[in-house]
């Protein structure tokens, strides 16, 4: 294979290039030679006013390598069409590239692309704000390439930082003042970085987001990303390291200005701790690569002569700072996406927040005896202000994982375009409703979009009362359905002592039979409040995670319907595939609900919720009441919800919940068998409850809280639920991995053994 660094650029006179353009693409125009270190580039201005880029690749680039770049551009265009990249224009025969002989006898791949207007910024223009966006754009491009692969992506290229170890062979070519530093960088790489890289996230990356490959407008906003010539499959964090090394080099504040780039990147793609730990050394490795390749080129008389001064100066800055301290600076920037001042709040210490919070927010409760100060999340993990990582086995809101990049990207992309309500035509709300209904139980053909699960249940109650002309409600004994006035009345879990709404009656959950429901229905009718609806969480989460209870639900639903009431399935906690048996927990019972409510997980943290119902109930309600929600179903919320549905499908998370949920149950049962304190293990997919009995005679609520606090100190977050507060609630994001399930069980075992 020809070394891409040694092969001279193609030799095509402008006239010959013009003939290629005409013969292959049927395009005529004026050609203007553009800079290209390895390739031959021409701007083409056609008579119709269009501009193109004619690219004649270095002969060292095979047809497979060029095809890799072409397919990558197409992939990016599909995944994130808002990214400002070139588009490949097919030749007359439909091919994405063609081979052409040069006058010197060598062959090159030829391609025509759309032309990107803009300019290359100078160093002094790159403010913290610009650098933050540069880092963020690098992350966005990396996210768009996620999932893309091509057989040619592994072709050898010295600019892949994984190959930095080979720099030592050419070290004698480096000038004396830089040689010791480059040698230190290579030594640190061999000892501390090379062993770590194989276990880091890896994918195809652009690998060259430098000032010469990025175009900006007059306001220094990025309007073009060019030159995919160094694209390769490598560790994802290398893409950020390359961008930092090549963008802030050559300035006295290089290390300081690297912070905003890291923060911008981390604001969209948070770095794993291991990635953050090696970032500083990877930046140094890129600088060393630039220096060594420059010296080698000078020795061979090819390319640009001499070592790049910007890289030399940045490397000396890192050395003066101290390798360990510089690495720590990069780690700190990765932990704090607010480093560039982009977040509208100022960082504050945990004690300061703990003191300030009750003064302005009142006595709102916090989780755990020692409250957590969380600053970011990723997947099934969250991180506190001191950088400690916790496995989140409690929060069902981020159903596809904290800060899933696809959901974040959808929110950002739509937020940049339009935020408005459903009084206007828009694709997002219609498509979201179509996709939800495609998964819904039989008979549901309308979607009303709102902002929260509480609002969804409140609206469902209004529809039920309107449709039946009744005001009576049935809920399970410790149910929770929301925080509005109407839904608080439907939430006995939240009732203060002595509070009993006249129009609400309780139904005993499984293992009780339908007799409790029949008695409550009779009591409602006798009190002048015949039942309008039964509200039920099919997993009976707040009652202690008692589901599935198909026969109980069938018999209770039948009793309610015979009494003229509706059945409302509250899927806020157990929906979106959590049970592993399908999208909605109600489906496992065979009961077709009259109304179904969705909430927390729908937007993965963005406020969006919905009521699904039949047109026979929904349409008259809208027509009679004029119902409308200004913010419900706004375009950004719908974009987030659509992204969640697509991630659920693409990552097969329903099936994943079944598989990992089964493993988690097995491990929890193993732990339970060794502890008398565990009375029962109940689970349904990734919704698990452990009933605890205090072996020391204390109140079970206090014992369960103590175990939950111990697990928090051991790095795993769980909650408690149930009428007695003695059921540990394990309800993680659906991206929980098998190793995470083992960690939950292992930490529980330790927590139960603690004195």
How many CB atoms lie under 10 A from the CB of residue 655? Answer: 11
Q: What is the CATH number of the domain that holds 664?
A: 3.90.1150.10
pLDDT tens-digit series, residues 195-253: 999 999 999 999 999 999 999 998 888 999 998 989 999 999 999 999 999 999 999 98
- 441 and 542 in a single domain? The answer is yes
Asked whether residue 525 falls in the same domain as residue 657, the answer is no
Q: Is 473 contained in some domain?
A: yes
* Residue 519: band (very low, low, confident or very high) from pLDDT cuts 50, 70, 90: very high
pTM confidence score: 0.63
Least confident of 16-25, 129-138, 279-288, 690-699: 690-699
| Domain end residue (candidates: 114, 144, 159) | 114
Best CA proximity match to 185, nearest among 62, 315, 302? 315
Structure tokens at 490: 């439907």
Q: Are residues 454 and 391 in the same domain?
A: no
- Look up the CATH number of the domain holding residue 54: 3.30.200.20
Look at residue 744 and tell me if it is in a domain: yes
* Any domain includes 3: no
Total domains present in the chain? 4
552 shares its domain with 619: yes
Residue 628 to residue 634: CA distance in whole angstroms: 12
Domain residues for 425? 406-650
In this structure, how many other beta carbons lie within 10 angstroms of the beta carbon of residue 106?
Answer: 16
Average pLDDT over the chain, rounded to an integer:
91
What is the spatial distance between Cα 459 and Cα 151, in angstroms, rounded to a whole number? Answer: 53
Among the candidates 619, 650, 681, a domain finishes at 650
340 has pLDDT over 50? no
As a whole number of angstroms, the distance between CA 55 and CA 38 comes to 11
**Domain assignment of residue 427, yes or no:** yes
Residues 628 and 656 in one domain: no
Peptide bond preceding 332: is omega within 30 degrees of 0, i.e. cis? no
Please name which of 446, 465, 460, 433 lies closest in space to residue 615, comparing C-alpha atoms: 446
Q: What angle is formed at CA 588 by the lines to CA 601 and CA 445, rounded to 5 degrees?
A: 65
- Alpha carbons 149 and 162: distance in angstroms, whole number: 18
**By CB neighbour count within 10 A (0-12 exposed, 13-18 middle, 19+ buried), where does 252 fall?**
exposed
CATH number at 420 reads 3.40.640.10
693: left (phi over 0), alpha (psi -120 to 50) or beta: beta
122 has a pLDDT exceeding 70: yes
Does 97 lie in the same domain as 26? yes
pLDDT at res. 3? 58
Residues 322, 381, single domain; the answer is no
User: Has residue 4 been placed in a domain?
Assistant: no
Residue 2: predicted pLDDT: 53
pLDDT at 339 over 50: no
Q: Are residues 638 and 548 in the same domain?
A: yes
- Asked if residues 235 and 268 have their Cβ atoms less than 8 Å apart, the reply is no
3-class DSSP state for residue 657? helix
Residue 557 is assigned to a structural domain of this protein = yes
- Express each pLDDT in 289-331 by its tens digit: 999 888 877 777 665 555 588 899 999 999 998 988 888 889 8
Structural domain contains residue 381:
yes
The answer as to whether 1 is a domain residue is no
Residues 620 and 657 in one domain: no
Whether the Cβ atoms of residue 53 and residue 86 lie closer than 8 Å to each other: yes
Which residues sit opposite 604 in a β-bridge?
606
**Is there a contact between 704 and 725 (Cβ–Cβ < 8 Å)?**
yes
Residues 377 and 312 in one domain: no
pLDDT attached to residue 328 = 86
Same domain, 434 and 565: yes
Domain boundary among 631, 650, 669: 650
Q: Would you state the structure tokens that stand for residue 519, as one six-digit string?
A: 């008695």
Tens of pLDDT, residue by residue over 381-435, are 998 877 688 999 999 999 999 989 899 889 988 998 999 999 999 999 999 999 9
Q: Are 241 and 285 in contact (CB under 8 A)?
A: yes
> Domain of 236: which CATH number?
3.90.1200.10
Are 492 and 505 within one domain?
Answer: yes
CB 658 within 8 A of CB 685: yes
């Amino acid at each position: 294979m020809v070394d891409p660094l040694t092969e001279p650029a193609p030799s095509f006179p402008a006239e010959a290039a013009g003939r290629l353009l005409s013969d292959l693409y049927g395009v005529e125009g004026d050609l203007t030679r553009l800079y290209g270190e390895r390739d031959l580039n021409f701007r083409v201005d056609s008579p119709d006013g269009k501009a193109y880029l004619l690219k004649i690749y270095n002969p060292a680039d095979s047809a497979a390598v060029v095809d890799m770049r072409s397919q990558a551009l197409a992939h990016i265009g599909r995944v994130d069409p808002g990214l400002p990249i070139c588009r490949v224009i097919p030749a007359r025969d439909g091919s994405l590239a063609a081979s052409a002989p040069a006058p010197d006898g060598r062959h090159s791949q030829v391609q025509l692309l759309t032309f990107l207007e803009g300019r290359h910024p100078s160093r002094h223009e790159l403010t913290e704000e610009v650098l933050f966006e540069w880092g963020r754009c690098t992350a966005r491009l990396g996210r768009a390439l996620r999932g893309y692969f091509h057989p040619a992506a592994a072709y050898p290229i010295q600019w892949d930082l994984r190959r930095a170890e080979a720099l030592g062979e050419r070290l004698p070519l480096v000038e004396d003042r830089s040689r010791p530093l480059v040698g230190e960088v290579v030594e640190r790489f061999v000892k501390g970085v090379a062993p770590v890289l194989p276990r880091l996230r890896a994918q195809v990356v652009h690998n060259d987001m430098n000032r010469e490959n990025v175009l900006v407008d007059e306001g220094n906003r990025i309007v073009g990303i060019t030159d995919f010539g160094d694209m390769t499959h490598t560790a994802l964090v290398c893409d950020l390291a390359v961008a930092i090394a090549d963008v802030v080099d050559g300035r006295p504040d290089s290390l300081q200005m690297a912070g905003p780039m890291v923060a911008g990147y981390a604001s969209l793609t948070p770095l794993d701790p291991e990635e953050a730990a090696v970032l500083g050394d990877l930046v140094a490795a890129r600088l060393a690569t630039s220096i060594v390749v420059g010296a080698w080129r000078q020795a061979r008389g090819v390319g640009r002569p001499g070592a790049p001064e910007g890289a030399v100066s940045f490397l000396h800055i890192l050395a003066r700072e101290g390798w360990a301290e510089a690495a720590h600076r990069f780690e700190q920037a990765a932990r704090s996406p607010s480093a560039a001042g982009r977040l509208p709040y100022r960082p504050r210490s945990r004690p300061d927040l703990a003191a300030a919070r009750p003064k302005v927010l009142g006595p709102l409760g916090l989780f755990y005896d020692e409250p957590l100060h969380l600053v970011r999340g990723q997947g099934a993990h969250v991180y506190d202000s001191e950088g400690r990582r916790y496995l989140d086995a409690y929060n069902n809101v981020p159903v596809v994982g904290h800060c899933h990049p696809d959901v974040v990207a959808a929110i950002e992309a739509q937020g940049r375009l339009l935020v408005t309500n459903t009084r206007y035509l828009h694709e997002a709300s219609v498509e979201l409703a179509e996709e939800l209904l495609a998964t819904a139980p039989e008979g549901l053909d309308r979607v009303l979009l709102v902002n929260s699960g509480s609002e969804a249940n409140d609206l469902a109650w209004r529809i039920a009362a309107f449709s039946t002309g009744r005001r009576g409600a049935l809920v399970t004994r410790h149910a929770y359905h929301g925080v509005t006035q109407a839904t608080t009345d439907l939430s006995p879990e939240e009732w203060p002592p002595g509070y009993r709404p006249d129009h609400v009656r309780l139904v005993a959950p499984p293992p009780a039979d339908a007799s409790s429901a029949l008695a409550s229905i009779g009591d409602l009718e006798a009190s002048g409040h015949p039942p309008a609806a039964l509200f039920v969480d099919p997993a009976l989460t707040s009652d202690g995670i008692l589901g599935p209870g198909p026969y109980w639900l069938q018999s209770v639903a039948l009793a309610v319907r015979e009494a003229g009431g509706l059945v409302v399935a509250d899927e806020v906690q157990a929906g979106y595939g959590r049970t592993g048996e399908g999208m909605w927990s109600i489906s496992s019972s065979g009961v077709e609900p009259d109304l179904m409510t969705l909430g927390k997980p729908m937007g993965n943290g963005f406020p969006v919720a919905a009521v699904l119902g039949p047109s026979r109930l929904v349409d008259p309600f809208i027509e009679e009441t004029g119902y409308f929600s200004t913010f419900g179903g706004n375009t950004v919320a719908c974009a987030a919800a659509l992204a969640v549905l697509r991630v659920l499908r693409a990552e097969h998370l329903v099936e994943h919940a079944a598989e990992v949920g089964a493993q988690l149950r097995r491990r929890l049962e193993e732990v339970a068998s060794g502890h008398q304190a565990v009375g029962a293990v109940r689970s349904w997919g990734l919704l698990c409850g452990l009933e605890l009995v205090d072996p020391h005679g204390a109140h079970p609520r206090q014992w369960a809280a103590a175990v939950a606090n111990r697990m928090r100190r051991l790095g795993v977050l769980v909650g408690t639920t149930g009428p007695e507060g003695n059921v540990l609630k394990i309800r993680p994001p659906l991206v929980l991995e098998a190793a995470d399930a083992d960690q939950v069980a292992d930490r529980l075992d330790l927590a139960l053994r603690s004195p």
